[in-house]
Amino acid sequence: MPDLTRILLGSVFGCYLLAVLLYLLALGRTGPATGRAALVLVSGGFLLQSACLAQRWWSAGYLPVTNLFATQFFFSWALAATFLYFELRYRIKAAGLFVILLNLLLLGSALPRDPKIPPLIPSLDTPLFTLHIGFSFFGYAFFAMAFSLGVLFLIQQRRPTPLLPPLAELRRLNEEAIFLGFCLFSFCMLWGSLWAYLAWGFYFSWNIKAFWSFIVWLFYAGMCHAKFVRRWQGTGYAWLSIAGFGVVLFTYLGIGLLMASNHPLD
């Protein structure tokens, strides 16, 4: 089975890589066919990746997100889903390029790792874990999309280009990504807190990873309101989206790399 997984993974990576190249090409020559071909490739890659995830889930008997390979794989899948959600809904094209690039980076760095699924230890053997992790990566994926839209808002503002959606549209999409991401991340926090209460006897932990997750949540809660304040709309919101994703990256990667934590997934 690992061979099948490797073949599937290689094909998924190939699809996303080609899609990125085509999107970049479409940036140069605005041919609609190139963009459409890129979308077909992302969709194909996503379907294959979904099949791979389903097969791994089925054979493990639980959502396999218990080691670095598996979390990178799942995060990459959530990013692709988020990209497709925006692309199919709004045809954002280049506006989602960063998300697909990030996806490629994640999947690329996961490929050399061992895809073997470790046996599930009892502390992770609960549906609360699946809900907690699933929602956390979807929240992160929407925050990544908001980051991408924020960066492109600033680019469009400084060097207007017909290749990107108009400013008003970018602003609206950015606000949408933040709101949806916040809702999904709230689910992650709520299920995680319930899990912590049943596993540790308290629902709010000061351990560095859990605490930074709270910081991420509070930051985006503030952002959900900042869009109602005229001064923060548009440019300010774009910068906040960029800063917010920095906080997300630190929580997901930085803490693991720089600091020791006793979070169950470190």
Write out the DSSP string of 140-207. Answer: HHHHHHHHHHHHHHHHHHHS--TTS--HHHHHHHHHHHHHHHHHHHHHHHHHHHHHHHHHHS-S---S
Tally the C-alpha atoms within 13 A of residue 173's C-alpha that lie toward its C-beta. 29
Minimum Å distance from CB 209 to other proteins?
10
Distance CA 80, CA 103 (A): 7
Q: Considering only residues 164-193, where is the footprint of ligand HEM by CB under 6 A? A: 179, 182
Q: Which is nearer to ligand HEM, 101 or 183 (CB)?
A: 183
Q: Which is nearer to other proteins, 45 or 134 (CB)?
A: 134
The residues of the shown chain that bind other proteins, judged by CB under 8 A, are 119, 121-123, 125-126, 128, 176, 179-180, 183, 186-187, 190, 193-195, 197-208, 211-212, 214-215, 218-219, 221-222, 225-226, 228-230, 259
Contact between 221 and ligand HEM by CB under 6 A: the answer reads yes
Q: What angle in degrees, to the nearest 10, is found between the helix axes of 32-60 and 2-28?
A: 160
3-class DSSP state of 64 = coil
Distance CA 218, CA 248 (A): 12
Q: Choose the stretch contacting ligand HEM; rule: CB under 6 A; options: 39-47, 65-73, 148-156, 217-225.
A: 217-225
Q: Which is nearer to ligand HEM, 97 or 177 (CB)?
A: 177
Among 163, 224, 242, 243, binds ligand HEM (CB under 6 A): 224
Interface with ligand HEM (CB under 6 A), residue total 5
DSSP 123: G
Q: Which is nearer to other proteins, 58 or 206 (CB)?
A: 206
Structure tokens at 132: 């907690």
Q: Taking a C-beta distance cutoff of 8 angstroms, is the pair 28, 122 a contact?
A: no
| 51 phi/psi in degrees, rounded to 5 | -60, -40
Q: Which is nearer to other proteins, 140 or 212 (CB)?
A: 212
Q: Which is nearer to ligand HEM, 39 or 240 (CB)?
A: 240
Structure tokens at 146: 């908001």
CA distances from 197 to 125, 156, 190, 205, 224 (A): 15, 46, 11, 10, 27
Q: Which is nearer to other proteins, 98 or 143 (CB)?
A: 143
Q: Taking a C-beta distance cutoff of 8 angstroms, is the pair 133, 74 a contact?
A: yes
Round the CA-based radius of gyration of the chain to a whole number and report it. 19
51 binds, among other proteins, ligand HEM, none (CB under 5 to 8 A by kind): none
* Neighbour-count burial of 96, counting CB atoms closer than 10 A to its CB (0-12 exposed, 13-18 middle, 19+ buried): buried
Q: Choose the stretch contacting ligand HEM; rule: CB under 6 A; options: 93-101, 140-148, 161-169, 220-228.
A: 220-228
30 binds, among other proteins, ligand HEM, none (CB under 5 to 8 A by kind): none
Closest CB to ligand HEM belongs to which residue? 221
Minimum Å distance from CB 30 to ligand HEM?
33
Among 159, 225, 230, 231, binds ligand HEM (CB under 6 A): 225
Residues that bind ligand HEM (CB under 6 A): 179, 182, 221, 224-225
